[in-house]
Amino acid sequence: MAEIQIVNSRKLEKLFLQVHITCNQGNPHFIRPLDKDVQDIFDPQKNKSFRFGEVIRWLLFDDTGEAVGRIAAFTNEKYTNKGDDVPVGGMGFFECVNDQPSANLLFDTAKNWLAERGMEAMDGPINFGERDKWWGLLIDGFEPPLYGMNYNPPYYQKLFETYGFQLFYNQICWTLPVVGAKNEQLQPKFYEAHDKFAANPDFEARHLKKGEAELFAKNFCAIYNQAWAKHEGNKNMETKQALRIYHAMKPIMDEDIGWFTYYKGEPVAMWMNIPDINQVMRHLNGKFDLFHKLKFAYLRWRGGITRMVSVLFGVVPEFQGSGIDYYMIVEAEKVIKKKGRYTDVEMLWQGDFNPKILAICENLGSVERRRLATFRYLFDREKEFKRHPILSY
């Protein structure tokens, strides 16, 4: 008979990591996450979300005693979505063999725990923390994942939908061939816009410098607070927050792929990218001790990273739609081609509830590379289900 156990020991923590590997074994696209990255989510000393909620993990064992599934559930008073009319909890880190009763038992366990804490719905699979990691179920584009991105077998979608989860929103990831293996070019409109701005000495595009943390923070805040702070009620970013972003990026930062554009010396656009370190992480088998850090450095030095990841793209309102983003991308392309490290860029997911940002991605000439989904399950099965509302500006 199947049995659920709370993860409350070192032994069970190791099994919690192992189930993910077991459910994806044999898949050449699967990349094992670093054990430390997953464990830190459940460590109150490492995850600030513990200030605002609680989390619990379970393992599912079959009648032979083998671990065949896992799940986590969490509350977080900071977790809100536009239009929510019920208290919503989260579930994530779901893994399960292809067996609906087993999946149902895991989902029921999470649902019951959340209901006991006053929740009336659960979203998943999501993270007990920021949305840039471990967020969404992969439903299309089963290629090797980016660093910190969920990866799962295709049959998981059926397990979720058969249980009763409904699509809350799609998460679309785009790709753009900044530098192609055959020296591909961007669309002509990029170069036309570039030439217009390049002829005006009031405009300048510059890439990052590792020793200019304060300048990065100043520029980042100036653009973010104009371009993004009003969206979904986001607060203005302070310099200290921007400095934390800089120092988090610094260990893997490539100066050539982080860009600011200026008008008369004032920052008006930015395009922040980082190397896709998962292309190297796939060789580390989840470990990051001294030996594996040296291995990581060696593989990166050997040119093991050919893809960069766009983590933020912003233009201040005054210049939105002007083509200044095309100017910035062409300036970046010239440097990137010269160095010859990268062939393409993938943009982190954009919610399908945000038509403005989706239009920007399409206008850049991007194509959809993969799609994840955030699902919602309402505990009151008679209540009307509503998808995430479309954002208006």
Tokens 């079959």 map to which residue?
62
Residue-level pLDDT at 299: 76
pTM, two decimal places: 0.89
Percentage of residues of the chain with pLDDT beyond 70: 96
Residue-level pLDDT at 259: 94
Lowest mean pLDDT segment, chosen from 116-125, 181-190, 202-211: 181-190
Band of pLDDT at residue 182, cut at 50, 70 and 90: very low
Mean pLDDT to the nearest integer, 134-146: 96
pLDDT digits (tens, 9 = 90+) for 206-229: 999 888 889 999 999 999 888 775
* Chain centroid offset of residue 333 CA: 24
Instruction: Report the C-alpha dihedral over residues 85, 90, 96, 99, rounded to 10 degrees.
Output: -20
Residue-level pLDDT at 10: 95
Residue-level pLDDT at 62: 95
Band of pLDDT at residue 242, cut at 50, 70 and 90: confident
Mean pLDDT to the nearest integer, 62-79: 96
Cα 340 to Cα 345: distance, rounded to the nearest angstrom:
13
- Reduce the secondary structure of 22-71 to three states and give it as a string: HHCCCCCCCCCCCHHHHHHHCCCCCCHHHHCEEEEEEEEECCCCCEEEEE
pLDDT digits (tens, 9 = 90+) for 43-55: 999 999 999 999 9
**Higher per-residue confidence, 227 vs 125:** 125
**Higher per-residue confidence, 301 vs 6:** 6
Cα 327 to Cα 152: distance, rounded to the nearest angstrom:
38
Band of pLDDT at residue 328, cut at 50, 70 and 90: very high
220-226, long-range: CB within 8 Å, 24+ apart, which pairs? Answer: 220/245, 220/246, 220/270, 222/266, 222/267, 222/316, 223/260, 223/267, 223/268, 223/269, 223/270, 223/314, 223/315, 223/316, 224/312, 224/314, 226/316, 226/317
**301 has a pLDDT exceeding 90:** no
Instruction: Give me the chain's average pLDDT, please.
Output: 90
Residue-level pLDDT at 180: 46
**265 has a pLDDT exceeding 50:** yes
Band of pLDDT at residue 19, cut at 50, 70 and 90: very high
- Give the start-to-end residue ranges of the domains of the chain: 3-168, 178-342
Q: In whole angstroms, how far apart are CA 252 and each of 248, 256, 352?
A: 8, 12, 29
**181 has a pLDDT exceeding 50:** no
Residue-level pLDDT at 185: 66
Cα 268 to Cα 222: distance, rounded to the nearest angstrom:
8
| Domain spanning 3-168, CATH class | alpha beta
**322 has a pLDDT exceeding 70:** yes
Annotation: CATH topology of 178-342: Aminopeptidase (3.40.630)
**Alpha-carbon dihedral sign for residues 360, 273, 181, 278:** negative
